[in-house]
Structure 1
């Protein structure tokens, strides 16, 4: 019976070197929000910007925005996909190499075994990649130093702002300031004062002396020279002022607030490995190279049809429908790519010491897996 091994979406998420930098519509850096900056005042004190009444995650794209329909079914090449079993010589060579790499494995079974059967097992790996773009909006701010306040005019809708698309199928993030959303507000962190209470001395300007632990004396007869017997010294954090420059407004007392558009490009992956109940642990194939049989890329791919193994057709149909239901209404699907690989796996039956054993040779790298090697030393048995 066929088995399908599903893997979770990749989490990946740092911008690659080709992730677009810069700002809205090709403007200079001043219009690009910093990667990490002060937070904006509470949303309930901010003005309502038409088109941005509800800020938050997953700004839904318009129903007809970038909608693409698949053109035609993806047909597999007209040929057979069977791979013959490897030769006994190659299977023997791979097994000897494998046992020699295990310090507690005796080499006798690999040298003395007798082959009884080599079975080629067709194992397919199907992958569907759906490259999506999602947008979120939120208030942000920066210290106000007299910058031009771009608060006049109509703010463009979140999905009408043009943003260069990075390299396909690479995770990336970008933050852009939305035009015509700027406003000046008093700093909420310091109540417009430009300074905040020092947390170290609690606004007193003095802290306990570290030399005498606040006792004023280093011994019963010796007065502390550091604090002159008072037990307190000037606070090093604020210089004795009791307050420090507000880090939110950088001492200005005012903030330039604006709406930022956060764009996230993500490569969402559906991965399935389909074997024939061979008993081989398919998780071992994650880093294994296979023979690529089909690559299909389009803004919207159609499920594979006419593949000789019906399990692949069913898996492709399920994957395409799942990604369509998951992403079509919450973000923009930019591109899809589906691939089919054939991974060579040979199950080897051999006899040693009058008993039959099995091992697998898999991948184009000819790696070996076995769970019942017949000659291990004591320490391996304990482990």
Structure 2
């Protein structure tokens, strides 16, 4: 009995313990040069790149050159076919009106869309761990850990978002599990280490209340084997998976993200502006470099102003918290045609926009409530 009691005392009771933290208490791990903040701040913060990686804009370059461009022509047949495709894609629209309408006027216009894409890389480090299974330990005894921005990694293709995690070389440490204090198991929180629980059928009274008959569910003992721990009274520590030791190491998390600034020139159209973000336009200007320069003297002054504002905002936002790898700015001409048509003695209008000839209709004369559901 004493032996069983001693064995039980060795099992840490963690029934009231919170979930295991990502890292053990700060005083359990040593500080590694170049990674002191992972203990002090807990990690999880973007690390500023070294000063020699911060690129700054130099003096303004020569004025940009904008080639001549023409507005794509929209014919009545093109406008009608685009509208028919749009109507046929709607389950509650009849196509009779689209086939019989009389086009009265085509008003072609354009808007310009400016985009600045800034492809940036950010790095943060944090302590993490895994159960130690007697594998090789690449610790400080093998040398100093390289600093976060000195670690060479293969970046994804430009302007593609991605996140990768790496183990920092020479940062591994082996410590006793801080959850179970190196025991590999803990008392079952359901039965408190007893291995048995009160029978739910008779509530431990050994007899059923109504019939006052001996409970047959658990041979009349009033108790049953704990289903949580299968009667063992303890459970394997989930933190170390019963290995009793943990391999701690610094994990470097590298995130590549493409940040997009978009601006559409002003227009006096009864047209949702967000639709223009979903179509292509005719490219009239493209500039790509590590850092691009603001556009000047574009025929539409508000585009030049948008370029200046976007570049200033992006460079200020990312220069100290991440590394800018590449920037790309473009100007696209998005064609829009306002189509006025007559049907059944009434006038209506719709818009054909983008190189894909998408359609937006303010109203449609042959629309029904068919109760269809779009999933």
TM category, shorter: 0.7 to 0.9
Question: For the residues of structure 2 that align with 1:92 and 1:163, how far apart are their CA atoms?
Answer: 53
Counterpart in the other structure of 2:69: 80
Matches within 5 A, 1:1-383: 39-55=22-38, 56=43, 57-65=45-53, 67=55, 69=57, 72=61, 75-84=64-73, 86-99=74-87, 101-102=89-90, 105=93, 110=98, 113-146=101-134, 147-152=136-141, 153-209=143-199, 216=206, 220=211, 223-352=214-343, 355-374=346-365, 376=367
User: Quick check: 1:68–1:299 contact (8 Å CA) kept in 2?
Assistant: no
- Count of residue pairs brought into register by the alignment: 343
User: Quick check: 2:106–2:338 contact (8 Å CA) kept in 1?
Assistant: yes
Question: For the residues of structure 2 that align with 1:213 and 1:370, how far apart are their CA atoms?
Answer: 69
> Cα distance 1:73–1:209, how it changes in 2: closer, same or farther (>3 A)?
farther
> Cα distance 1:42–1:191, how it changes in 2: closer, same or farther (>3 A)?
same
> Cα distance 1:103–1:182, how it changes in 2: closer, same or farther (>3 A)?
closer
User: Quick check: 2:163–2:256 contact (8 Å CA) kept in 1?
Assistant: yes
> Cα distance 1:307–1:234, how it changes in 2: closer, same or farther (>3 A)?
same
Provide structure 2 residue ranges, at least 5 long, that are not aligned to the other structure: 1-19
After TM superposition, the structure 1 stretch with the greater mean CA deviation from structure 2, 289-298 or 210-219, is: 210-219
The offset of 1:60, in angstroms, is: 0.9
Provide structure 1 residue ranges, at least 5 long, that are not aligned to the other structure: 1-36
After TM superposition, the structure 1 stretch with the greater mean CA deviation from structure 2, 367-376 or 261-270, is: 367-376
- The secondary structure found in structure 1 opposite 2:363 is coil
Question: For the residues of structure 2 that align with 1:211 and 1:290, how far apart are their CA atoms?
Answer: 72
TM-score by length of 2: 0.80
The offset of 1:354, in angstroms, is: 5.4
Highest Rg: 1 or 2? Answer: 2
- Aligned CA RMSD, in angstroms, stands at 2.9
> Cα distance 1:221–1:278, how it changes in 2: closer, same or farther (>3 A)?
same
The offset of 1:212, in angstroms, is: 5.7
The offset of 1:45, in angstroms, is: 2.9
The offset of 1:236, in angstroms, is: 3.0
